[in-house]
Amino acid sequence: MTGASRGIGRAIARAFAEKGDRVAVHYASKREDAERTLAGLPGSGHGLVQGDLSDPEVAQRVADEAESAVDGVDVLVNNAAFAPSAASAHPVAEVSYADWQRIWRRMVDVNVLGTANVTYCVARHMIERGVPGRVVNIGSRGAFKGEPEFPAYGASKAALHSLGQSLAVALAPHGIAVTSVAPGFTATDRVATKLEGASGEVLRGQSPFGRVGTPEEVAAAVLYLASGEAAWASGAILDLNGASHLRM
């Protein structure tokens, strides 16, 4: 479970632990948050794995350590990402060229290359063990709707969706199913201030349900896609946005 120190990642880790799975909780730098996730998981046999996935060697180490921590990874959930924030906004008409390059590189390194490398390493472990497996990518509505303030983020998530579909075909002969979830705006602690006041009303008004999604709703979808019953969904991208953005 990459990027499991808080928010959606924490909710997904807990959902798997509640059904009796052992979870390798990955984090990049916030060990205290990751330890809080770990402490909140029911059951036993869970572990912590640290590393900046933008480094290919670290990505391989993380995959190897996770494999050892839970005695074999059967499900990989790719949630780690360099996410939008005030500091990472880069609208093309306003940001400097130097910041444009810096933010694009970081988002691609973590969101695309980091995920691709971890997936490669975990998938090779699955193939070597000869066991069926599941890979679930946490994408974004922004891959389809557009992210004018964060174009690198939207592009990175579109790339993640495409990667998932390519790997779904490549890994099917090995019994490994690959899917993606594309959440809309989700109420996590990281974006709590955006849900206050007028901006919160605008965000809730994007959905005809009059609210935003919850981490637990994303976790429930991931739990299904990682199950044995969802093998035939391999290659799918599940929109999870409360009808706030519809596509054919």
The predicted pLDDT at position 197 comes to 87
Mean pLDDT along residues 15-44: 97
- In sequence order, which residues have a C-beta less than 8 Å from that of residue 218 and are 6 or more positions away? 8, 11, 12, 138, 181, 183, 186, 240
> What is the DSSP track for 220-243?
HHHHHHTSGGGGGGTT-EEEESTT
User: Which residue in 97, 120, 153, 224 is the catalytic one?
Assistant: 153
Mean of pLDDT values over 119-129:
98
Percent of the chain with pLDDT over 90: 95
Burial 194-220 (b: 16+ CB within 10 A, else e): ebeeeebeebbebbeeeebbebebbbe
224 classed as catalytic: no
Length in residues, the chain: 248
Which ranges of 41-111 does DSSP label H, i.e. alpha helix? 56-69, 97-107
Report pLDDT digits (tens) over 180-217: 999 999 999 888 888 888 899 999 999 999 999 999 99
Q: Rounded to the nearest 5 degrees, what angle is found at the Cα of 166, between the Cα atoms of 137 and 156? A: 50
Whether the predicted pLDDT of 220 surpasses 90: yes
Of the ranges 117-121, 171-175, 193-197, which one carries the lowest mean pLDDT score? Answer: 193-197
Amino acid identity at 80: A
Spatial separation of the C-alpha atoms in residues 15 and 5, rounded to whole Å: 14
- Is a pLDDT exceeding 90 seen at residue 173? yes
pLDDT, mean over the chain: 97
Domains in the chain (CATH in brackets) are 72-240 (3.40.50.720)
The CA-atom distances, in angstroms, between 7 and each of 33, 92, 100, 214 are 10, 29, 27, 9
Integer-rounded Cα Rg, in Å, for the chain is 17
**pLDDT, average across residues 47-70:** 98
In this prediction, residue 11 carries a pLDDT of 98
State yes or no: pLDDT of 248 exceeds 90.
no
For the segment 76-106, what is each residue's pLDDT rounded down to a tens digit?
Answer: 999 999 999 999 999 999 999 999 999 999 9
